[in-house]
Amino acid sequence: MDMPMPPRSRLRDALTSSLEISRAWNQALRDRALSPYPYLAPIVKRAARVGDPPVNPTPHRTVYSRGSMRLLRFEPTVRKYTTPILFVYSLINRYYILDFLPGRSLIEFMRDQGFDVYAIDWGTPGDLERDITWEDMCSGLIRSAVDWTLRVSGAKDLTMYGYCMGGTMALAHAALHPKPLRNFVAQATPVDFHHGIFHTWTKPKYFDVDAMVDAYGNVPIDLMESGFSMMAPIQRITKWLDVFRRIDDPEFVTTFLAMEQWASDNVPFPGELYRQYIHDCYQENNFYEGRMVVGGRTVDLGQISCPLLTVLSETDVIAPPPSSKALDHKVSSTDKTTMAFPVGHIGLSTSSKGPKQIWPKVAQWLAAHSEPLK
């Protein structure tokens, strides 16, 4: 059956908007903009007749803050489990990819399953954060978040849910401070860093991390953005033209704009923490090999003995499956489960498959490993 043609006026609008996209992109290049989103998004919204994407929709309150970091609580209407979940996200982007859109939010989904949910929002690092170390992070900020999660929830232990580089930091914390952890979920978390394109790009002969941190302090947003853009340089512009193929689908356009808004909302990376991250993870693989030293103590993943769930993206290029699967060989846990899904790195927390195929399986595992509320 032939698909009905859109009205001639919509075709004309789409063509006009495509031309506007090209002009706006050129203007963004002339302005040396960090992201084309502010230039291109208004054109797409006008053509699709949609408003700003409703990102980060789940109600929450701040229960603890320290410097630029906040600990957020997403309280369930009906709590079913004593064991809370603490999400630890990466320092590279904003945490709200975990609370993406209404009905497409991992945090919202877990809250609605009856879990008391907490998430660390790292905020925007400034000059005060440039000297933060892995010791400050693992035995300071993350440990404080754990303590306050337990205090506010009234629980004796928790599930730590690490995602991407946040998962790597959370694992380092868990190795140094394993006692309050009931479970650990590692979602798209790199562990063996000698897999993937970032290992190649960060080799010492190509990348002098010491010179960069010494020169800039915190790693600037534009340098972080340029690295990710190089993973798909052509798609960076073509996706803004391709969206007009589905300009009459407001749900698709809103999801597209939400993803682009999040991707453009980068923050600086604390300099000293980044220095050790590159040296001990990507360049020397000390994190995986048990040679990384934090605060005078060796990060030994074998100290982690709680139940472990590893959630993988089958097509991940940021945390390739072999990098994440390697965690099983390092921890002492006897209860280990791996789940793999046919989505991308970010798709684990944003895909339409999330609430239907991915998160119910993760929630089922969490429910079986959490203490019911009596």
72, 82, 116, 148, 154 from 79: Cα distances, Å: 17, 8, 7, 18, 12
CA dist., res. 200 & res. 345, Å (int): 19
What's the pLDDT score for residue 237?
Answer: 74
What's the pLDDT score for residue 14?
Answer: 59
Reference 61, options 72, 50, 76, 48; nearest CA is 72
Residue 307's Cα: distance from chain center in Å? 22
CA dist., res. 262 & res. 341, Å (int): 22
Helix (H, G, I), strand (E, B), or coil: what is residue 108? helix
Count of positions (residues) in the chain: 374
Rg, the chain, Cα only: 21
CA dist., res. 268 & res. 274, Å (int): 10
What's the pLDDT score for residue 9?
Answer: 55
**Which residues in the chain show pLDDT less than 70?**
1-18, 226-234
CA dist., res. 17 & res. 40, Å (int): 10
Residue 237's Cα: distance from chain center in Å? 23
CA dist., res. 117 & res. 75, Å (int): 6
Fold of the CATH domain 61-199+268-368: Rossmann fold (3.40.50)
Exposed / middle / buried, residue 280 (Cβ in 10 Å: 0-12, 13-18, 19+): buried
Reference 161, options 101, 120, 217; nearest CA is 120
Prediction pTM value: 0.92
What's the pLDDT score for residue 16?
Answer: 65
Contact yes or no for 43/55 (Cβ under 8 A): no
What's the pLDDT score for residue 3?
Answer: 46
Helix (H, G, I), strand (E, B), or coil: what is residue 311? strand
Tell me the domain boundaries of the chain. Answer: 61-199+268-368
What's the pLDDT score for residue 17?
Answer: 66
101, 223, 244, 273 from 256: Cα distances, Å: 11, 24, 11, 32
Catalytic residues: 164, 316, 345
Question: Tokens representing 299?
Answer: 């990060």
What's the pLDDT score for residue 1?
Answer: 43
